[in-house]
Structure 1
Amino acid sequence: MSETTQVSVKILGKEYQFACREEERVALLQAADYLDRMMREIRDSGRIVGLDRIAVMAALNMANDLLRNQDKGREATETAVDRIRRLHSKLDARLGKSDSPATPTAGDD
């Protein structure tokens, strides 16, 4: 079992402490950096004021991106499965033809 470690991150200039497993440390830092960048973008746009409103907007944007990417992944998987089925059918058709006994041609003696 891995030990937990304390990780300090800054989001919009405010420091937060988290405990995580050592192997999750880099991912936590990357996630915090991504969140900080998104929140700064939202804050700098000037349309939304207040830390909690900025955080909620960033969370909604990230959830929207996640769901959109899941849909794209699902569509890509379905497309790949359809292509594999078509290729499988073509292979079956070709192999079915080649499984039948070959008719002798001149020079096959």
Structure 2
Amino acid sequence: MRHQHTVQVRILDRDYTVACPPEAEDGLRAAARHLHDKMTEIRHSGKVLGVERVAVMAALNLIHELRQELQAQQLPEATLDRLLSKLDNALET
């Protein structure tokens, strides 16, 4: 049986124990710090009350940022696909 590796992280004044592979620990700690920072920012804005609501707003903001990044990365890929298609058409004629 494989030993379960656990990591302690602190997010918005609460400690969490999270299981992860040893090689993923640095990434998990970085993600926890990023989430903590986002939740602290939202809590300090004074517009959202309650830890649960702060967590939901942080999750929405982070997912929105991730989707924007993914869309920005796909745009050059779509452009490359279009250019390759034009090149293929030009070579066929």
Question: Which range, TM-score by smaller chain?
Answer: 0.7 to 0.9
SS in 1 for 2:63: helix
Aligned to 1:29: 29
Map of 1:75 onto structure 2: 75
Aligned twin of 2:43: 43
Distance 2:5 2:68 in 1: 33
Residue 15 (1) aligns with residue 21 (2): no
Q: Is the 8 A contact 1:35 1:58 kept in 2?
A: yes
SS in 2 for 1:16: strand
SS of alignment partner, residue 79 of structure 1: helix
How far is the alpha carbon of 1:63 from its aligned partner?
1.3
- TM-score w.r.t. length of structure 2: 0.84
Q: TM-score when scaled to structure 1?
A: 0.72
Which runs of 5 or more residues in structure 2 are unaligned? none
Is the 1:4–1:22 contact (alpha carbons within 8 Å) kept by the matching residues of 2? no
Q: Structure 2 counterpart of 1:45, which letter?
A: S
User: Whole-Å Cα distance in 2 between the matches of residues 49 and 40 of structure 1?
Assistant: 12
Give me the identity figure in percent: 33
Give the letter aligned to residue 35 of structure 1.
L
Residue 85 of structure 1: aligned partner: 85
- Structure number with higher relative contact order (C-alpha < 8 Å, ≥ 6 residues apart): 2
Which protein is bigger by CA-based radius of gyration? 1
* Native 8 Å contact 1:3 1:21 kept in 2: no
